[in-house]
């Protein structure tokens, strides 16, 4: 971030800028989900997936080309936030199109496993980025704004991500066909209007509660925890990268494990129980982390892994669950809006932590968000029906249940 910020930026301002960069993508995702989900339900999942994939591939690549503050002043931050927002639109669109397409091709008895294999690529990507960053930091230490890493080393992961997006575009173009569920689904004049104002409002509200809790958990585990390990515990950047790498590898397994477990015990029971576990285990691990220092790297690593495994692992079955909650005619819209709209409130986590810090202290403020997030997941799971055996080719919710 020092590449994009003025040299005299205070720690507080830097934290707000970092939060804005992080939140830009999150706030754009509901918009992209609504737009792309609408067209996925109207014209097909495959073609809209291709547009979304190409879009986030190009925007990711362009972020790697951005000039810094030394070249264009404050426009550097503005362009970074703007490109993150645009990329978020395409990313939200990809969630609303590619995931329903994959789930509609999956046999009912294997949807849990398929969901886990899809969603585990998120921690796998985090592990890959952590490993690449660890390598880059070892060969080009970020010693000030003029160092090789700050000037161009950070761009390498963005270029790789952009190229992978383009490769995925051509893969879809040549190898992926439209799912039969879309062809069988009854058309509706406006999937978004039916979702928001029709008979599916209750399903959307239930998903919104569950996913709001999920995003609170995610923001603490993915955004707050790494900076806490550096700034509060006092661990070196290299040590934090190693911890994130190990934690992400562990979460690849827990994602798949949770997804398979949900196929055995049911999605409703899984999320009800997982929310309670997250509220207790994640908050306990985080609280214990606040008592450690830089000489206790091993226990810090174990506790950090505990926080991440007991929070973001809930995404293992989410691809299956959210697609099962909506009929084929509005499935892409329901998945995209339900998944992404809920992240708007949790996206302002930095401000909640600042406010809670005046009451319980800044160090423990994230613990309150972990408890809140876990409880929302548990309540959201309990309010919903069981879905693991629904008919994905059904055009209506009634047909799906039968």
* Residue 346 DSSP symbol: G
Distance CA 343, CA 81 (A): 17
Place of tokens 């590898």: 249
Portions of the chain given CATH number 1.20.1250.20: 1-104+140-180, 189-402
Q: Shortest CA distance to 272 belongs to which of 368, 389, 383? A: 383
Strand ranges (E), 12-60: none
Q: Tell me, which fold does domain 1-104+140-180 have in CATH?
A: Growth Hormone; Chain: A; (1.20.1250)
Cα angle 150, 155, 161; round to 5? 155
CA distances to 116, 222, 288, 295, 326 from 306, rounded to whole Å, are 19, 13, 11, 19, 33
CATH architecture observed for domain 189-402 = Up-down Bundle (1.20)
Q: What is the pLDDT along the chain (402 residues), one digit of tens a residue?
A: 888 888 887 877 887 888 888 788 878 888 898 889 888 888 888 999 999 999 999 999 999 999 988 888 888 899 999 999 999 999 888 888 999 999 998 999 999 999 999 999 999 988 888 888 888 888 888 788 888 888 888 899 999 999 999 999 999 999 988 877 776 555 566 777 888 776 788 999 999 999 999 999 999 998 899 989 988 898 987 888 889 889 999 999 999 999 999 999 999 999 999 999 999 999 999 999 999 998 899 999 999 999 999 999 999 999 999 999 998 888 988 888 888 888 889 988 888 998 998 888 888 899 999 999 999 999 999 999 999 998 887 654 444 554
Whether 350 and 126 have beta carbons less than 8 Å apart is answered as no
Q: Residue 106 has which token pair?
A: 């999956």
Output the pLDDT for position 184. 52
Output the pLDDT for position 206. 96
Distance CA 398, CA 205 (A): 18
Distance CA 330, CA 315 (A): 21
Q: Is 65 exposed, middle or buried (CB count within 10 Å of its CB: 0-12, 13-18, 19+)?
A: exposed
Output the pLDDT for position 399. 46
How does 108-125 read in b/e, with b if 16+ C-beta sit within 10 Å?
eeebbbbbbbbbbebbee
Whether 211 and 373 have beta carbons less than 8 Å apart is answered as no
Whether 324 and 392 have beta carbons less than 8 Å apart is answered as yes
Cα angle 125, 126, 127; round to 5? 90
Say how many Å lie between the first and final Cα of the chain, rounded: 53
Q: Residue 383 has which token pair?
A: 């309010």
Place of tokens 């927002």: 85
Q: Is 35 exposed, middle or buried (CB count within 10 Å of its CB: 0-12, 13-18, 19+)?
A: buried
Output the pLDDT for position 183. 60
pTM for the full predicted model: 0.84
Whether 41 and 335 have beta carbons less than 8 Å apart is answered as no
Distance CA 223, CA 18 (A): 10
Place of tokens 């509220």: 279
To the nearest 10 degrees (0 to 180), the angle between helices 267-277 and 365-383 is 160
CA distances to 28, 72, 212, 234, 318 from 207, rounded to whole Å, are 19, 43, 8, 38, 10
Return the number of other C-beta atoms located less than 10 Å from residue 87's C-beta.
26
Distance of CA 395 to the CA centre of its chain: 28
Whether 87 and 59 have beta carbons less than 8 Å apart is answered as yes
């Amino acid at each position: 971030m020092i590449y994009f910020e003025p040299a005299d930026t205070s720690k507080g301002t830097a934290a707000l800028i970092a939060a804005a960069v992080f939140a830009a993508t999150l706030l754009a995702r509901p918009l992209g989900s609504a737009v792309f989900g609408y067209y996925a339900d109207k014209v097909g999942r495959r073609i809209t997936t291709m547009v979304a994939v190409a879009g986030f591939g190009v925007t990711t690549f362009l972020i790697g080309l951005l000039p810094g503050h030394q070249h264009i002043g404050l426009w550097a931050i503005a362009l970074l936030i703007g490109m993150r927002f645009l990329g978020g639109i395409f990313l939200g669109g990809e969630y609303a199109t590619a995931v329903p397409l994959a789930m509609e091709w999956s046999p009912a008895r294997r949807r849990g496993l398929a969901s886990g294999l899809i969603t585990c690529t998120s921690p796998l990507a985090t592990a890959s980025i952590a490993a690449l960053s660890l390598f880059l930091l070892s060969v080009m230490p970020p010693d000030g704004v003029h160092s090789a890493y700050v000037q161009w080393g950070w761009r390498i992961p963005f270029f790789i991500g952009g190229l992978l997006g383009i490769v995925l575009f051509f893969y879809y173009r040549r190898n992926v066909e439209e799912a039969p569920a879309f062809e069988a689904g009854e058309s509706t004049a406006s999937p978004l209007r039916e979702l928001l104002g029709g008979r599916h409002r209750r399903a959307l509200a239930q998903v919104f509660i569950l996913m709001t809790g999920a995003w609170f958990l995610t923001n603490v585990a993915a955004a707050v925890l790494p900076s806490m390990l550096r700034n509060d515990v006092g661990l070196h950047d290299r040590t934090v990268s190693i911890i994130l790498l190990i934690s992400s590898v562990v979460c690849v397994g827990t994602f798949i494990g949770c997804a398979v477990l949900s196929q055995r015990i049911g999605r409703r029971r899984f999320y009800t129980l997982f929310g309670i576990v997250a509220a207790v285990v994640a908050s306990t691990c985080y609280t214990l982390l606040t008592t450690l220092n830089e000489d206790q790297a091993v226990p810090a690593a174990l506790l950090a892994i505990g926080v991440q495994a007991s929070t973001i692992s809930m995404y293992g079955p989410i691809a299956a669950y959210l697609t099962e909650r909506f009929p084929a005619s509005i499935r892409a819209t329901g998945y995209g809006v339900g998944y992404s709209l809920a992240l708007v409130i949790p996206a302002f986590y930095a401000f909640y932590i600042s406010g809670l810090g005046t009451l319980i202290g800044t160090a423990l403020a994230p613990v309150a968000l972990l408890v809140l997030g876990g409880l929302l997941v548990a309540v959201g799971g309990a309010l919903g029906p069981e879905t693991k055996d629904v008919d994905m080719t059904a055009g209506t919710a009634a047909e799906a249940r039968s």
